Structure 1
Amino acid sequence: MNRTRRTVLVAHPSSELYGSDRVLLESVTALVDDGWDVVVTVPDDGPLLPEVVARGARVRRCAAPVVRKSALRPLGFVRFVGTAVRGLVDGMRMLRQERPALVYVNTVTVPLWIGLGRLARVPVLCHVHEGESSASPLLRRILALPLLLANTIVANSRFSVGVLGGSFPSLERRAEVVYNAVPGPPERTPVRASIDGDLRVTYIGRLSPRKGVDVAIDAIAELDRRGVPATLDLVGAVFPGYEWYETALREQVEKKKLGDRVSFRGFQPSVWEYVHGGDVVLVPSRADEPFGNTAVEAILSGRPVIASATSGLLEATAGYATATTVVPGSSDSLADALVGTIADWEDTRANVGSDAEAAERRHSPGAYRRRIAAIVRGNARTR
């Protein structure tokens, strides 16, 4: 194929539209705007793909094993190896056909593409969106090991870099922090003048145990016990294979008689309607988070956020008057913070505007795109 533009091959583990998927779109836009022919390879179909095409990139599907906990089980490991074999053959074929100047691996969960790029003697950039200091040292080293083969490492937070350094100090020295681009809503809807009636609480993200969705439900139950009326919108869906967790959440709601208080909204490609329809956004993660896009989205929308005081969430919420952090996994702590939100509503109203403006400066898509384009340009193979 005769091209006038050089190619960047971007490997991504999924076709959904959650945090790292949306950051991928900003990276794609950065590269397309910088004049690259961008090819995004994913293992499956999903709502991400039309968005990728709309940004001016091409899409190619290729089997690639994704590192998940299920791969640690015997059947999961067999499937992982089988997918890796198919991905090795198909991926090398794709590299020969596309002849990229750089392979951009978006997250450490698709390590096969790091190896394929090096086998093909193509520079590899890995963009790290993960960081779990609570995982076992062995597991952290296994996840970080493929990064030793990457030519360039970009991470979305200082916390993520620190986790890498805990496994291999050389990775911490080599990694460059680029904070996520987090686009805000088309326009901000003002918060209510006062909390009359129910406090409207919103959770946005995947429904999974590590995200602490059940903790949020328990907090609403605790508010009900205290005589503080509140509703909770759950905006998101489960990973395939985690349907049991949604079932457990629904049973929890029924058991606590919160059917008129908690609503399951499912996955929504645009979340702004739900953010603006609420008074406060929760990010109640139990486990480490490398960053906190949802927390930033809340602040950009002019809404206060209550987040777990853990890992990258502390980094994401630092410096904002309308951000509160709580003990991870504690529904009482979460309920206390929600009551505090009502009590401090006048101060919240006074600070949401300046916090939103600060978040816009810190997470500007334009600045992010310029950084990513410059890093790729500086590390891609010359003709």
Structure 2
Amino acid sequence: MKVTIVHGSNDTYGASRVLLQEVDSLLALGHSVHVLVPNGGPLQREIDARGSGVQLTIEPKLLVLRRSNWKDSLKFPGLPSAMKEADVVVVWTLGMAGYIPLLRLARKKFYVSVHELLEDNRARTVFKHLLKGAFPVTACSRAAADWLTSLGVTPSRITVTYPVLPDGPSDRDTNPCREGRSGTFTVAVYGRLNGSKGHLEVAQAFQEPCMGDPSWRLILAGAPFPGQENALDDVLRLVDKDPRISYIGEVASLLELTADLDLVALFPKKPESFGLVPVEAWSYGIRSIGYALGGAAEVLPLVGGAVVPNNSPEVPNIAHALIAMREDWGNLQGLPESDQVRPRLSFQNRVAQVSSVLAMFDPLMAGRGIEQTNLPATSSDPS
């Protein structure tokens, strides 16, 4: 069966990483996959590594709905040939939801994969309308599923397909205490630098008088979408004035930072749909700290992360939480063992859930069946 996935990004963050896990699942079920994206980028490299069963095509005229660039929504889209020829189309994230009416009009089989929690009233109204119908919807977390239900999507249409937990290093330390090796304490904020992931707020916390100790370090990783450059400018102003803070731009995964990292900070300005970063950090033996908002309310307790109340004023609250974490570092319990974390986030589970979604169209579309596939223990892509 031919499956076309239409996606609005060509990066290696969040939804793009989970897209690779969807590709792996579809390949394991015996299907061929064609990914459409609007521009070039590092996702191409990951797709190429998966062999002849999957290809990626750049379609510059794809309609992508972005709050940072609403003029794109004025385009009048047509269905690219790869979508017309597919047996099933996957609308990957609500950023591609403009294609839902066209797919319905063309009577194409499709499902929508949701990786958002949007509380803006206008957005809720738009997507409440677009998501009406009987087509399947997948959600990346229980929080995303509950949000879809609040829009009127019936639970019978929703399948939760959790991201896959990657394999970490074989010597993963379940009781990390790295500070003593260098005398510094290094915190990282990692993710799309769009003004809502907490990069600026954590950098501002470093400016609080209580965090004047020169042994603190902060690494800011990520890059903005076009139209979000102001968020980067705000961060760089603090980077320029504080030698303890470094901005390293876009990185392929958190693994690139782990040599010097003690703690990952997650203080977003709005709820995240899942929380890939603390899962990835756990897999490399790194502890997380942050707000239990949205999907993070599931993830942080699962991986032994520290939960911080979302109190005001925000910046001093973050500063005091980081200080308290460092002061108590030697007394913290070890991170959860694999058998406590992996069952919910296994590749086998994801393949089974993807298969069940395809079976909603036709039982024969489900693929060869999970018991017949040669499945790896986990996806090879870090999430």
Normalised by the shorter chain, which TM-score bucket?
0.7 to 0.9
Structure 1: state its 5+ residue gaps: 1-5
357, 360, 364: which is aligned to 2:342? 360
1:159 aligns with 2:159: no
Secondary structure in 1 aligned to 2:89? strand
1:59 aligns with 2:56: yes
Secondary structure in 1 aligned to 2:249? coil
Deviation at 1:382, TM superposition (A): 6.0
Deviation at 1:277, TM superposition (A): 2.0
290, 314, 333: which is aligned to 2:297? 314
1:102 aligns with 2:88: yes
70 and 322 in structure 1: CA distance in 2 versus 1, 3 angstrom threshold: closer
226 and 71 in structure 1: CA distance in 2 versus 1, 3 angstrom threshold: closer
Q: Is the 8 A contact 1:23 1:180 kept in 2?
A: yes
Measure the CA separation in 2 of the matches of 1:301 and 1:367: 22
Residues 308-350 of structure 1, C-alpha deviations (whole Å, 9 max, x = no match): 23222112213443433342671222222212222222343x4
Deviation at 1:193, TM superposition (A): 5.1
Alignment of 1:56-205 (within 5 A): 56-62=53-59, 63-72=61-70, 76=71, 79-82=72-75, 85=76, 87-88=77-78, 90-91=79-80, 93-96=81-84, 98=85, 100-133=86-119, 135-136=120-121, 138-149=122-133, 151-168=135-152, 170-188=153-171, 190=173, 191-192=176-177, 194-195=179-180, 197-205=183-191
Secondary structure in 2 aligned to 1:69? coil
Q: TM-score, normalised by structure 1?
A: 0.85
Q: Is the 8 A contact 2:166 2:280 kept in 1?
A: yes
Measure the CA separation in 1 of the matches of 2:206 and 2:183: 14
Q: TM-score, normalised by structure 2?
A: 0.85
Q: Is the 8 A contact 2:188 2:218 kept in 1?
A: yes
Residues 219-261 of structure 1, C-alpha deviations (whole Å, 9 max, x = no match): 222266454731001111111122222122111333xx31x20
Measure the CA separation in 1 of the matches of 2:303 and 2:21: 24
320 and 228 in structure 1: CA distance in 2 versus 1, 3 angstrom threshold: farther
Q: Is the 8 A contact 2:47 2:54 kept in 1?
A: yes
Structure 2: state its 5+ residue gaps: 366-383
14, 17, 20: which is aligned to 2:15? 20
Percentage identity across aligned positions?
27
Measure the CA separation in 1 of the matches of 2:338 and 2:324: 20
Q: Which residue of 1 aligns with 2:225?
A: 239
Deviation at 1:71, TM superposition (A): 4.7
Secondary structure in 2 aligned to 1:60? strand
Q: Which residue of 1 aligns with 2:371?
A: none
Matched letter for residue 117 of structure 1: L
Q: Is the 8 A contact 1:295 1:305 kept in 2?
A: yes
Deviation at 1:50, TM superposition (A): 2.3
Deviation at 1:186, TM superposition (A): 4.0
Secondary structure in 2 aligned to 1:366? helix
**Residues 287-296 or 319-328, more deviating:** 319-328
Q: Which residue of 2 aligns with 1:3?
A: none
| Number of aligned residues | 358
359 and 305 in structure 1: CA distance in 2 versus 1, 3 angstrom threshold: same
Measure the CA separation in 2 of the matches of 1:301 and 1:289: 21
Q: Is the 8 A contact 2:211 2:319 kept in 1?
A: no
380 and 107 in structure 1: CA distance in 2 versus 1, 3 angstrom threshold: farther
Matched letter for residue 306 of structure 1: I
